[in-house]
Chains A and B, each alone.
Chain A
Amino acid sequence: MTSVAALMVWPVILPLLGAVLALLVGRPGVRLVAGVASVATLMASSMLAWEVAHQGVLHQSIGGWGAPLGIEWRADGLAALMLLTIALVGPLISVHALDHFGDREDREFLPLWLFVWCALNALVLSADAFNLYVTLELTTLAAVALIAVRRDLPGLDAGLRYLLFALPGSLCYLLGIALLYGAHATLDVGTLAQRVQPGPVTWVAAGLVTVGLCLKTPLFPLHVWLPPTYTGAPTPVTALLSALISKGSFYVLLRLWLEVFAPVMDAQVGQLLGVLGAAAVLWGSALALNQTQLKRVVAYSSVAQIGYMFLVFPMATSGARAGAIYLVVSHAAAKASMFVAVGNIHQAVGITALGGVQGLAHRMPFTFLAMALGGISLIGIPPSGGFIAKWLLLNEAIGTRQWWWGLVLLVGSLMAAAYVFRILRGSFLPLPPGVTVRSIPLGNELAPLALALIALVLGLVPWFPLDLLAIGASR
């Protein structure tokens, strides 16, 4: 048994080792080392996911000390699916980033990306509350460094803005964990789940943890940092932020909420989160509708899509959990492909406004197809992963007699259709006069297409991820 559980080490250690070696070799060897580390981590993640799919939930206590003292790792279906998503979406974005950035940024982008990868893998596998804090913090700091990698004014401003919102989020989370430790003398999530009883400590701790993670995800009222940060940061970094890094804090919230807090908190708090999610959907879509810059539309669409994910809390059934995770995974692929495609457009024609899309369908067919497939997944039209997620959540809404969440889903996807087709519409128009199109390397065009195809395949073969998700589902 130990040899199989040892597989859980590599998805975390390999990117860390890769990052450190990439820093060590400096300019000439960065791409080589990062490439080797990425391939190794991809294989490690898929092997682990394969083992989880076949042997069920895997446990591993680091340093052999066992639950209360040492740190526990747990890899169930959810963790395996997240590992696969990160391992597929992340490298594709970094491939695009290689051509997007100059040589200097490469030396800083690649190690930072490997640190983010290590942090996300560690976060997904960890079952220890304080360890989650350290992984969240590592992701945040690496994200801030990534945002400011180009050292221009918008990037720095975006990085600072993100840091000064994510930092209090982590500290709220830490105080919540401290209270839980004070009450139950354990940091292990599994033991916490057994010992937690309703009482002032649990309510306040749950409140702190939720507020902290909602600041980082971000959920609606606390999302003010998202649009300026997403537009200020370089596009590949924005793709990383929206697709993977924001999902880390949601993943932690979902884990803690469904496993630890849900049984002891009364349903009203779940309804509150649902209401905030619904407000995020309507607010984000409304604002996305009247933006003029491509990147801002896609950024506000992130606010809306995150709102959908929070609809899982009022329903809290295993079907809703599967729906929310499916949305997380397909949103990661679809949103990444949209942002990367926008980056391509900006590189090719230098226009950041909506008009930049004109004539896209013929001069950059792959980028157009990527945006179309990504957009379809954001709206939730079959064949796309987004549709499956919407379908699962809709069914749970009707099943648990809370049909109003279903209404939010349907209205939200109509508004999503409005702003997605507003972007895509122009691509059939002929190229505007006087616009010179710089040719972009093929690798850059194929990256968004590969990401969009992931979202498409998620829509065609949903039984595989759903079976994987069912492993270790608590309820």
Chain B
Amino acid sequence: MNPWALYALSGVALFSVGLVGLFSHQHVVKRILASNITGSGVLLVLVALARRMSSGPPDPVPHALVLTGIVVSVSSTALGVALARRMARLQAEATHLPEHEPRSDGEGP
């Protein structure tokens, strides 16, 4: 049996684990990891679809899509991580030096 169905199912499983994980965790880093896992799940399904013909070269279009997909998921992860890091630092500073740094009120202007 051509292994693509196995990998496609594994991709779908990854997608489900990631998606459910994303909505059931609160910690930012965990949610970023979950979104990465969801992303690789989808990409695994795409590449598995490319390899359905057991003979001859695989279908290049899904490969190109996956390349774009990886770059997009890396950029969103990097942006998420940068935001998380900055927030962690602001919160850390706020707890260390509460006196002379006014807490910005809940509602941003």
Binding site for B on A (CB under 8 A): 130, 134, 137, 140-141, 144-145, 148, 150-160, 163-164, 167-168, 171-172, 174-175, 178-179, 181-182, 187, 231-235, 293, 295-296, 343, 346-347, 352
Contacts and interface: CB of A to CB of B under 8 A. Distances in A.
A181 B45 CA distance: 11
A235 B22 CA distance: 28
B46 A134 contact: no
Interface string B73-98: 00110011001101100110010000
25 contacts: A134-B68, A137-B72, A141-B79, A144-B83, A153-B91, A153-B104, A156-B87, A157-B87, A158-B108, A160-B28, A160-B80, A163-B80, A164-B31, A167-B76, A171-B38, A178-B65, A181-B49, A187-B61, A231-B107, A231-B108, A232-B108, A234-B109, A235-B109, A293-B107, A352-B109
B57 to A, nearest CB: 16
Given A137-B76, A148-B83, A159-B83, A175 B45 contact: yes
Closest 10 pairs (CB-CB, A-B): A154-B108, A182-B49, A156-B87, A175-B42, A167-B35, A160-B83, A178-B46, A171-B38, A352-B107, A137-B72
Contact-residue bracket for chain B:
35 or more
A145 B78 CA distance: 12
A160 B87 contact: yes
B90 A153 contact: yes
Interface in B2-59: 15, 19, 22-23, 28, 31-32, 35, 38-39, 41-42, 45-46, 49
Contacts of A172: 19
A156 B83 contact: yes
Nearest to A173: B42
Given A153-B87, A157-B87, A172-B19, A178 B107 contact: no
A235 B107 CA distance: 11
A234 B107 CA distance: 9
Contacts of A179: 45
Nearest to A222: B23
A224 to B, nearest CB: 10
Contacts of B75: 141
A424 to B, nearest CB: 20
A157 B26 CA distance: 13
A154 B41 CA distance: 32
A154 B38 CA distance: 27
Given A171-B42, A175-B45, A178-B45, A164 B109 contact: no
Contacts, number: 103
Nearest to B78: A141
B49 to A, nearest CB: 4
B31 A174 contact: no
B15 A175 contact: yes
B109 A343 contact: yes
A234 B15 CA distance: 34
Given A167-B35, A178-B45, A234 B108 contact: yes
Contacts of B15: 171, 175
B109 A163 contact: no
Quick one: which of A152, A157, A163 has the most chain B CB within 10 A?
A: A163
Contact of B79 (A163, A181, A187, A352): A163
A154 B107 contact: yes
A249 to B, nearest CB: 16
Contacts of B86: 148, 151, 156
A245 B49 CA distance: 32
Contacts of A174: 42, 69
Which of the listed residues B72, B84, B104 has the most CB atoms from chain A within 10 Å of its own CB? Answer: B72
Contacts of B94: 153
- Count chain A CB atoms within 10 A of each CB in B72, B80, B108 and give the residue with the most: B108
Given A159-B83, A160-B87, A178 B35 contact: no
A168 B91 CA distance: 26
Given A153-B104, A164-B80, 18 more contacts: A130-B68, A134-B68, A134-B72, A137-B76, A156-B83, A159-B83, A160-B83, A160-B87, A163-B76, A164-B28, A164-B31, A164-B35, A168-B19, A168-B23, A174-B42, A179-B45, A181-B46, A234-B109
Contacts of A167: 35, 38, 76, 80
B49 A178 contact: yes
Contacts of A134: 68, 72
